[in-house]
Structure 1
Amino acid sequence: MEHPLMFDPDDPLLHRIRAIALSFPGAAEKVSHGRPTFYTTKVFVYYGASIKIDGEWIQHPESFVIHPDDAELAALEAEERCYRPGYLGPSGWIGVDLTDDTDWAEVRELIEASYRETAPVRLIAELDARSLADGDPEAHAER
């Protein structure tokens, strides 16, 4: 049985997440379990998720789910805007709710960190080369 779509294709927040995610080398989009997912050989960001509280699924439709490194995961867990999504949370994934106050530069950084956790080495090298070509040597030096 096919999952129903759990997102609005015209959602402007989805369009912003999509633009960020698809800007990374080798990135593509597919719908999985009713939600947009962005991947290379592995998924690096989902749009929307849910959590189970007292036996009921609570939707977080305007959020994104990433797989950060352990240090970033610990920092994000302390924030109210973040949640551990059902099924994915135990594997190190975390959801971040989007609001009117969302810092889109931070969203890009978080998605990039997740990309770096999941993408093949050759695509990360391509991203680093692109950063250097764009005149961003500090971004490359931090890695």
Structure 2
Amino acid sequence: MAGEDTTECATAPLDRLRALCLDLPEVVERPSHGEPTWFIGGKKTFVMFADRHHDDRVAFWCAAAPGAQEHLTAADPEHYFRPPYVGHRGWLGVYLDVPVDWAEIGELVSEAYRAVAPARLLRQLDAEPSQSG
């Protein structure tokens, strides 16, 4: 992936993912199923961390636009997968134990937020100056 960043330590993927999620309006973090999970308005899940929770991989699961899961998992199975439990709803799994492009991860997090957030928060997000991840 272009712009790959392979220099992070073992805890950096969670820290970086957390920063991307918490930078969005009205996002809170709390554990769900034993993993850090991010909610919009404290109610709607849009990103879930997966630290070897269902296999031996470090990843996250996120809401995705219709068709995104199928497209990305077919095009790049080294980085993307269909996660258990939520995959049937179109959610996307993203491996974090391979070199990743954090700008792309930021886009995926933003798209996940947009897939779940109410219109009021989308208007707020669109009114804010552009942020880079």
Cα RMSD (Å) = 2.3
> Is 2:55 aligned against 1:58?
yes
SS at structure 2 position matched to 1:70: coil
Distance 1:85 1:23, change over 3 A: same
Give the letter aligned to residue 68 of structure 2. E
Give the letter aligned to residue 58 of structure 1. D
Aligned to 2:83: 85
Segments of 5+ residues of structure 1 without an aligned counterpart are 1-9, 52-56, 137-143
Distance 1:75 1:50, change over 3 A: farther
What TM-score comes out, normalization by structure 1 length?
0.74
Segments of 5+ residues of structure 2 without an aligned counterpart are 1-9
Percentage of identical aligned residues: 35
User: Aligned match of 1:70 in 66, 71, 75?
Assistant: 66
TM superposition shift of 1:74: 2.4
Q: Is the 8 A contact 1:50 1:85 kept in 2?
A: no
Alpha-carbon separation, structure 2, partners of 1:16 and 1:135: 15
Aligned to 1:126: 124
Alpha-carbon separation, structure 1, partners of 2:68 and 2:29: 24
SS at structure 1 position matched to 2:125: helix
> Is 2:105 aligned against 1:107?
yes
Give the letter aligned to residue 91 of structure 1. R
Give the letter aligned to residue 14 of structure 1. L
Q: Is the 8 A contact 2:62 2:109 kept in 1?
A: yes
Aligned to 1:6: none
Alpha-carbon separation, structure 2, partners of 1:123 and 1:35: 25
* Bigger shift: residues 64-73 or 35-44: 64-73
Higher RCO, Cα 8 Å, sep 6+:
2
1:39-68 deviation line (CA, Å, top 9, x unaligned): 1131110111679xxxxx5243x2111111
Distance 1:16 1:125, change over 3 A: same
Aligned to 2:5: none
What TM-score comes out, normalization by structure 2 length?
0.79
SS at structure 1 position matched to 2:37: strand
- Structure showing greater Rg: 1
TM superposition shift of 1:92: 1.2
